[in-house]
Amino acid sequence: MLETLKNFFTTKQLSTKAVSDSKVRTVDIAYAALLVEVIKSDHEIDERESKKLLEILNNKLSSSYNDLSEIAAIAEEKSNEATSLYEFTRLINDEYDYQKKVTLIENMWTIAFADEEIDKYEEYLIRKISDLTYVSHSDFIKSKLRAKNDKGVDII
């Protein structure tokens, strides 16, 4: 199993039957897995957060709903198998420029705000991933405020 995970993260493309024989970039699975981590961080799976995950993936990948559901399922599986966040953040750091990393952090905040309640574990996780992807603290805060304003939530 460890060898399978290692192979997954050393290849640049992942092809699975589950994703309708389309090519899904490994970095996209890592991105989705980090979003799944936010959903799981408060130990409560909320339908609104899961729905927001699919919306974000649709905007990013422009795939069919079935493909997006399968990508989310693969991301959840990889998230469950992962031993640390480094497995995902390393790919993000290797493939993404700074602005794409800021967008990732903002999307994480968007998911966190989806249930209209920010849990301390959600905030901790987003802060940690922000640090691991070298996103500045000011951009971390700006991303939080943009996501909060988009949602119209009165949470700080």
Convert the pLDDT of each residue in 1-53 to its tens digit. Answer: 334 434 444 443 343 444 434 456 889 899 999 999 999 988 887 888 889 98
Choose between 85 and 66: higher pLDDT: 85
Least confident of 25-29, 127-131, 136-140, 148-152: 148-152
Contact, 114 vs 152, CB < 8 A? no
Please, what are the domains in the chain? 2-10+25-151 (1.10.3680.10)
Share of the chain above pLDDT 90, in %: 45
pTM score, whole prediction: 0.78
For the chain, the distance separating the N- and C-terminal CA atoms, rounded to the nearest angstrom, is 41
